[in-house]
Amino acid sequence: MNNKVKSVMIGHAVGDAVGVPVEFTPREELDDEPVVDMEEYGTYSMPKGSWSDDTSMALCALDAFDENKLNFDKVMRNFALWYDKDEYTPTGVMFDVGNTCSTAIENYTKYRLSWKECGQENEYGNGNGSLMRIHPFVLYTYRLETDIRTKIDIVELASALTHAHQRAKTACGIYAFILWELLDNPTKEAVNVGLQKGKEYYRNNSQYSHYARLFDANFLHTRREDIKSGGYVVDTIEAAIWCLLTTDTYRDCILKAVNLGDDTDTVAAIAGGLAGALYGYEGIPQAWRDALLRRQYIEELCDKHLPF
């Protein structure tokens, strides 16, 4: 099982790193000059293999699983160490953070709110900043011997640390259903099974209509021009799953995600974690794995905190 954990964590981080150099680049520019490999510098002038806040915040979460127990206060403290002290970064410098995440962290550190009160409940806070870091919590809940509602409650609480609106929490729940299925059965059919389970679970949820297209049986055939890749959480989960379902290798999935443009690192990171579960650790190109900064550190955290 631990190799599955690493497949997801490294798959996510590699996707993040491929996307970082071209973050915010319009799709039209990438159509003219597409990304074909992991690059360096670009948007943030960071070295090759650098990952962004997507992976940093995920590592903050992973490093908060004390003795296989979940400690939300420690998650928030680790977020603060990243935000204020540049820990959990690839180069010792924190270079990217979303507004909703920074507000939540400051609510915890500056205004001394409890972890239950820090996340933004406003509808306009439905960015992808919790979806991009939810995978460690999904891996944690995967092996819990409890009912689905309890597992989803944990995932939604994890989202609410920064993004507390039900729409963002629902995206994280849908992602969880898909990843759980992929961990049991690494096939594309598992993605569809996960989507159907998410559809059933959230059928009566107030946010269901926002995910209706994703749940539709014809989603696979959605045209590229109808896929959006900005920071809105609904668009992000659609884009990531669309890239996963319309490609046949980890590499192709990541390049397709990155070349959608705009929020390239996050779409590729989320697609990458799922693609890691689908294609396995060895399915991630070795050259990309080797170029990933602090890969050994990430894998050591996997062994320490999710040793199953």
Q: What is the pLDDT of residues 130-152, one digit of tens each?
A: 999 999 999 999 999 999 999 99
The pLDDT of residue 66 is 78
Task: Express each pLDDT in 6-61 by its tens digit.
Answer: 999 999 999 999 999 999 999 999 999 999 999 999 989 899 999 999 999 999 99
Q: How far apart are CA 203 and CA 178, in angstroms?
A: 16
Task: Express each pLDDT in 197-218 by its tens digit.
Answer: 999 999 999 999 999 999 998 8
Q: How confident is the model at residue 300 (pLDDT cuts 50, 70, 90)?
A: very high
The pLDDT of residue 307 is 76
Q: How far apart are CA 83 and CA 105, in angstroms?
A: 8
Nearest to 161 by CA among 189, 192, 191, 137: 137
Q: How confident is the model at residue 69 (pLDDT cuts 50, 70, 90)?
A: confident
Nearest to 277 by CA among 191, 210, 157, 218: 191
Q: Which residues are within 8 A (CB) of 126 and not within 5 positions of it... i.e. 6 or more apart?
A: 163, 165, 167, 168, 232, 233, 234
Strand-pairing partners, residue 41, are: 46
Angle CA 234–163–220, to nearest 5: 20
Own/partner contacts of 43-49, CB < 8 Å, gap of 24 or more, are 44/20, 44/95, 44/96, 46/20, 46/21, 46/90, 46/91, 46/95, 47/91, 47/293, 48/17, 48/291, 49/17, 49/90, 49/291, 49/292, 49/293
Q: How confident is the model at residue 124 (pLDDT cuts 50, 70, 90)?
A: confident
Into which CATH architecture does domain 2-305 fall?
A: Orthogonal Bundle (1.10)
The pLDDT mean for the chain works out to 96
The pLDDT of residue 95 is 87
The pLDDT of residue 54 is 97
Q: Which residues are within 8 A (CB) of 300 and not within 5 positions of it... i.e. 6 or more apart?
A: none
Q: How far apart are CA 163 and CA 113, in angstroms?
A: 15
The pLDDT of residue 206 is 94
Structure tokens at 5: 């954990």
Structure tokens at 221: 């055939």
DSSP H helices in the chain? 2-19, 27-32, 53-62, 72-85, 99-109, 135-142, 148-160, 166-184, 188-201, 212-215, 233-245, 250-258, 264-279, 286-291, 295-305
The pLDDT of residue 217 is 81
Q: Which DSSP helix (H) or strand (E) runs through 223?
A: none
The pLDDT of residue 1 is 54
- For the segment 101-121, the average pLDDT, to the nearest whole number, is 96
Q: How confident is the model at residue 125 (pLDDT cuts 50, 70, 90)?
A: confident
The pLDDT of residue 93 is 94
Own/partner contacts of 37-44, CB < 8 Å, gap of 24 or more, are 38/14, 38/287, 38/288, 38/291, 44/20, 44/95, 44/96
For residue 44, the tally of other CB atoms under 10 A from its CB is 16
Nearest to 278 by CA among 228, 243, 229, 239: 243
The pLDDT of residue 263 is 97
Q: Which residues are within 8 A (CB) of 287 and not within 5 positions of it... i.e. 6 or more apart?
A: 38
Q: How far apart are CA 209 and CA 35, in angstroms?
A: 34
Nearest to 268 by CA among 16, 39, 10, 6: 16
- For the segment 227-253, the average pLDDT, to the nearest whole number, is 98
Residue appearing with tokens 């460690």? 136
User: Coil, strand or helix: which one is 245?
Assistant: helix
Q: How far apart are CA 188 and CA 142, in angstroms?
A: 19
pTM: 0.97
